[in-house]
Amino acid sequence: MKINNIHTAISFMANKIPKKQAEYINNHLINSDSVDIFCHIATDEDAFNSAKIMYEYLAQQGIKPRILCNNAKENYGFDESEYDIIDLSKTSAPKQKASSALCLDFSDSERIRGDALKYLSQFSKDDIFLMDHHIPVKSIIKSNKVTTPTTGEKRFTTARNGYIDTTARSNASILVRFFNALNIKMSKSQYESAYCGMVDDMNKANLLSIQNGEIIKSPELIRDKNADEVFNMVSENVSEDKKREILSHLDVLSHLSEQEQAFRENLFKKIMISDNKKFAYAIIEPDDETWQAIGGDNSTTSKILRDFRLKVLAHKNPDKYINPEQMKELQEVEAAAVFYPDYKTGRYRISIHSNKDYAMKIIEYNRQNYNKDLIAGGHDERAGGSIQSLDGKICSKWIRDFIFAAQNINY
């Protein structure tokens, strides 16, 4: 299951980590008595599987690791007997602080928040380490400046206590490069965790599709040596049976409940398009009863919304729920978004997929012209944001600002 022909502009990449940088991070971690591994809020496959990779490595060095996550029960390989896991959506932060903190798949305080952020703030800056592939807005540690993204530009930055590669499609791929730099062979289970995190991120970016436990599409795009190297390095160390098990787990849309399937069908009926025909979106109101009935924002609904955005953005082979008339209207669309409430945090959110860098340009225009304190960020073609409110009027104003931003960009 090698994935070849991946586009350079949206590729699954991870630059080689400088050996000295990897050694600096590694030396501090392995000289700690204990390490708390932090995942971002609404922990996803990439974050949790990255945490598992580092947990195994640190435990082998005689260090006591713990994983601090949030709503990660559904993620692949959650085994409470194998890992010391603290799910902060169900319990409070630990009273006894570890020697060091390791933040994976986030470097921004806005991606952690609540009890987890309060607990992380107890660590001194010298004891916090991170590896990430997102552009930080409010960085947890002092790092070199990361500029506004430009499609195709290779962007990576180092900090004394961390490494950020914003070209990387997955945090798991950065960890592969981390162990490469240290000349450390990853274990079978670490490769399996990396495969899960990497494939899920490739699916998010629509670089492949998963159905019935199989990869069914590999796009005919430009070959990228770096992308092939990282993914194939992992793929060659995972058995075919384990791949099918992982892919089946990731194929959430194949086993939706009737209620979830009905919600998915109705979501396509909500499609609206901006006046410039470039921005398609659906709005789930803060008091939407159907959204509440299927559990609001969770791992399953997150995949439903992501699939919706990608199907709306695709100009070929649309979903069966997009009728021919809608398909004609979507031909010029360059970005697809969903606005939705997150009841667990009391926030209203937006998630965007786009061609090239339209998603980040929408966010930057919004921030510069409407909401200077906008909490939003991500990748060139995949980004999101939120506001601390579920008030209908406030959320409506917030939605309009994004629509205006999308319409006013010369794209």
Half-sphere exposure (Cβ direction) of 24: Cα atoms closer than 13 Å: 17
Find out whether 143 and 162 touch, Cβ atoms under 8 Å: yes
* DSSP secondary structure of 98-162: PSEEEEES--BGGGT-HHHHHHHTTS-GGGEEEEE-S--SSBSS-----PPP-TT---EEEETTE
Mean pLDDT confidence for 111-129? 91
The answer to whether residues 198 and 284 belong to one domain is no
Mean pLDDT confidence for 48-71? 96
**Would you place residue 142 in the very low, low, confident or very high pLDDT band (cuts 50, 70, 90)?**
low
The answer to whether residues 290 and 400 belong to one domain is yes
**In this model, does residue 281 exceed pLDDT 80?**
yes
Instruction: Show which of 250, 269, 295 is a domain's final residue.
Output: 250
Q: Which residue has the higher pLDDT, 326 or 287?
A: 287
**In this model, does residue 136 exceed pLDDT 70?**
yes
Residue 288 is predicted with a pLDDT of 96
* DSSP secondary structure of 11-47: --B-PPPPHHHHHHHHHHHHTSSEEEEE--SS--HHH
Is 1 a member of any domain? no
Mean pLDDT confidence for 268-277? 94
Spell out the residues 6+ positions from residue 317 whose beta carbon is closer than 8 angstroms to its own.
none
Is 204 a member of any domain? yes
The answer to whether residues 205 and 276 belong to one domain is no
CATH code for the domain in which residue 138 is found: 3.90.1640.10
CATH code for the domain in which residue 321 is found: 3.10.310.30
The answer to whether residues 205 and 178 belong to one domain is yes
The answer to whether residues 235 and 283 belong to one domain is no
**Range(s) of the domain holding residue 75:** 19-250
**Token pair recorded at residue 278:** 């470039």
Q: Which of 241-250, 313-322, 344-353 has the lowest mean pLDDT?
A: 313-322
Is 192 a member of any domain? yes
Mean pLDDT confidence for 53-60? 98
Find out whether 201 and 6 touch, Cβ atoms under 8 Å: no
The answer to whether residues 308 and 375 belong to one domain is yes
Distance CA 272, CA 325 (A): 13
Is 8 a member of any domain? no
The answer to whether residues 197 and 263 belong to one domain is no
Instruction: Show which of 250, 282, 298 is a domain's final residue.
Output: 250
Is 13 a member of any domain? no
Mean pLDDT confidence for 74-103? 88
The answer to whether residues 41 and 157 belong to one domain is yes
- Total number of domains constituting the chain: 2
* Structure confidence by residue, pLDDT tens digits, 209-253: 777 667 765 544 334 455 567 888 899 999 999 998 999 888 888
**In this model, does residue 73 exceed pLDDT 60?**
yes
Residue 227 is predicted with a pLDDT of 54
Is 47 a member of any domain? yes
List the alpha helices (DSSP H) in 142-239. 171-182, 188-204, 225-235
Q: Which residue has the higher pLDDT, 199 or 271?
A: 271
The answer to whether residues 317 and 226 belong to one domain is no
The answer to whether residues 298 and 227 belong to one domain is no
Residues in the chain: 411
**Would you place residue 5 in the very low, low, confident or very high pLDDT band (cuts 50, 70, 90)?**
very low
Is 11 a member of any domain? no
The answer to whether residues 87 and 175 belong to one domain is yes
Residue 224 is predicted with a pLDDT of 45
Q: Which residue has the higher pLDDT, 32 or 249?
A: 32
3-state SS assignment for residue 163: strand
Q: Which of 123-132, 159-168, 279-288 has the lowest mean pLDDT?
A: 159-168
Q: Which residue has the higher pLDDT, 300 or 123?
A: 123
Instruction: Show which of 203, 229, 250 is a domain's final residue.
Output: 250
Average pLDDT, the chain: 85
* Structure confidence by residue, pLDDT tens digits, 78-88: 787 899 999 98
The answer to whether residues 49 and 104 belong to one domain is yes
Residue 3 is predicted with a pLDDT of 47
**Would you place residue 9 in the very low, low, confident or very high pLDDT band (cuts 50, 70, 90)?**
very low
Is 156 a member of any domain? yes
Q: Which of 167-171, 209-213, 298-302, 344-348 has the lowest mean pLDDT?
A: 209-213
